Structure 1
């Protein structure tokens, strides 16, 4: 097993600059075509950083900076020796392939220089393959590391549900820690993309009841939603075919109708600041788990704390995909294992760390009555010095 440090026995973790400023920010204007976007590298460990690529019509530089800082926190909490980064592309999805090709040409020097960019909101594995190809970038070969024995898709795509697995682990762990483990809990999932679908299956398999799901078209609800049927009715972008819904399912196009569904648990697995100062007063669930990145605004976090609701933040719950990628980039994953065993190893690795971080986060919160995340980050840094 080798890692990307000069001393294989030493595992460094990313640490954000005390000033709050990222290591560097690059504005993207395009190479061989127009492009608007940013790459923010929040931290570097031995000249390496990683994070996803978000492509939406309204993404901002400030949002990308926040996402990159979140990546630093995630990698710190799970103890991987890679810095945090993120990319954002301003696009409504038109001319999709050409936008991604232009992005690949533009960020090629960064990819080849130690930055790894993957998927995030609005960017699929197929999209990632487009910009990897245009940049002639192959994650199998990284400086100061042994080559990977598999191409990226062969390694990573079997792990597509790893983020949802981690979010599910965080949810059931939080319910146990909050002494709410008895019986089936009612769950609403806002966002039914890869993460939302995976969490729905994970929680149903463990006896919980999905009573509400929201996609870009609105919210559907029932006393018990048939998860398997919904998965069959959902396309690759998380859109549920309303014309084929079972008769007992109610559909609403009202904004934020997912907040009006009576539930014990709310999984936020979609857009930025979905829970915010304008709608947090409608929150019914006592437990909120961030399955997406920065899905609760700072103002909503404060109001939740006052109301007594519990939040498991994205940097604790939404780490599976980042960790799976980081384990490969750092050459920690045991590549010699057969595919199924290797997948199980990664899922177990992620689940163990998510479970411990969730437990410690909630214990700190109960003991101090304050935001527990800074204390948890400090503890993890000290453990890995």
Structure 2
């Protein structure tokens, strides 16, 4: 794949904090990718995430759908979301990036931000919407915007549909992997890093499918129970950043160190919080059969090589966590409506087809799911370029 189309670094005149935007490529003149906020965020990190967004978009190309995949982009701000200056930095970043957001970068929440916070800051920065660049591609903009707003207003068990979409996709990836391996859901143990938007929704769907969640990690450490955690109680006790109130722990729950989730006695690990959390220094601690990347870039390449040599399969982020982005566009473009059953049904069918195809290709070629996914991306990007041209 070629170099990114655009890289921008911004310095906040008030705090000196830095922010980045990378547009990897455009399709029909538009790119898609969220905005993250975390201390230590770098331009290289944002560039990797932007490339990943190009891949996630291409993987969901369906020539019969109204939604045509966009290009990939990503934004990042080097500031902890808990910092007292964070919201002001966010608003000033958005003001600086306004020309890009208005014309060719559509974005939403990512690590460290909620969609509610993004929407509020976008309005304060003087813009119509964080996704307004895509509006010229819509057949009926008012109807599309109403449909997406209605979808975001839907709540299921106290959690918004927009928060649940990604976790539904991650869970479906896990279930497909189990089925292909001939393993029943019941008795399969799962450990997750992160109980925020993605991790929390994934935990809910996996528990509902009959899997046993034995460990979850948040900023304060790992909560574990070999007999299974009460996922719904933990979700109800979360704060805005996914931290769990320890007063809600059950009698059999234990508090362990923050890294204990990685070595949990579980068949499935779901890193759903931070990037680069599995590397060459800790890969030997993994006891699981599968690592399912709900977070962006959680497993470093050198660690994946070591894990593969031990028979641990990594399901890559560009496949696993792609449903959140796709759900936005399926809804906005009208492939699905603001309906829970329709949304979850479409996500499950799409993810089953995609994960199944990637795993089949990997098995046939004797390669990793990541390599198979990358090959599939290149095929679909060639089709998109032939149909819509190249925008660099």
Please say whether Structure 1 and Structure 2 have the same fold, judged by a TM-score greater than 0.5: yes
Residue 22 of structure 1: SS of its match in structure 2? coil
Query: What is the alpha-carbon distance in structure 2 between the residues aligned to residue 32 and residue 273 of structure 1?
Result: 30
Partner of 2:188: 185
Query: What is the alpha-carbon distance in structure 1 between the residues aligned to residue 282 and residue 248 of structure 2?
Result: 30
Select 1:214's aligned residue among 213, 217, 220.
217
Query: What is the alpha-carbon distance in structure 1 between the residues aligned to residue 294 and residue 256 of structure 2?
Result: 22
Structure 1 spans left out of the alignment, 5+ residues: 1-17
Partner of 1:243: 247
Aligned residues: 360
CA RMSD of superposed structures (Å):
2.0
Residue 259 of structure 1: SS of its match in structure 2? helix
2:346 corresponds to 1:349: yes
State the Cα distance separating 1:332 from its structure 2 match: 3.8
Cα distance 1:32–1:219, how it changes in 2: closer, same or farther (>3 A)? closer
Contact 2:234 2:248 in 1 (8 A): no
Contact 1:333 1:346 in 2 (8 A): no
Q: Higher mean Cα deviation, 241-250 or 216-225?
A: 241-250
Query: What is the alpha-carbon distance in structure 2 between the residues aligned to residue 375 and residue 118 of structure 1?
Result: 27
Query: What is the alpha-carbon distance in structure 2 between the residues aligned to residue 258 and residue 246 of structure 1?
Result: 18
Select 1:90's aligned residue among 72, 78, 81.
78
Residue 136 of structure 1: SS of its match in structure 2? coil
Query: What is the alpha-carbon distance in structure 2 between the residues aligned to residue 377 and residue 144 of structure 1?
Result: 23
Query: What is the alpha-carbon distance in structure 2 between the residues aligned to residue 363 and residue 158 of structure 1?
Result: 30
Cα distance 1:381–1:260, how it changes in 2: closer, same or farther (>3 A)? same
Partner of 1:63: 45
Cα distance 1:376–1:179, how it changes in 2: closer, same or farther (>3 A)? farther
5 Å-filtered alignment, 1:221-300, equals 221-222=224-225, 223-253=227-257, 255-300=258-303
2:323 corresponds to 1:333: no
Q: Higher mean Cα deviation, 348-357 or 55-64?
A: 348-357
State the Cα distance separating 1:382 from its structure 2 match: 6.0
Q: TM-score, normalised by structure 2?
A: 0.86
State the Cα distance separating 1:142 from its structure 2 match: 1.8
Cα distance 1:135–1:108, how it changes in 2: closer, same or farther (>3 A)? farther
Query: What is the alpha-carbon distance in structure 2 between the residues aligned to residue 91 and residue 106 of structure 1?
Result: 16
Structure 2 spans left out of the alignment, 5+ residues: 62-67, 153-159, 388-392
Query: What is the alpha-carbon distance in structure 2 between the residues aligned to residue 33 and residue 266 of structure 1?
Result: 38
Query: What is the alpha-carbon distance in structure 1 between the residues aligned to residue 383 and residue 56 of structure 2?
Result: 15
State the Cα distance separating 1:35 from its structure 2 match: 4.3
2:321 corresponds to 1:318: yes
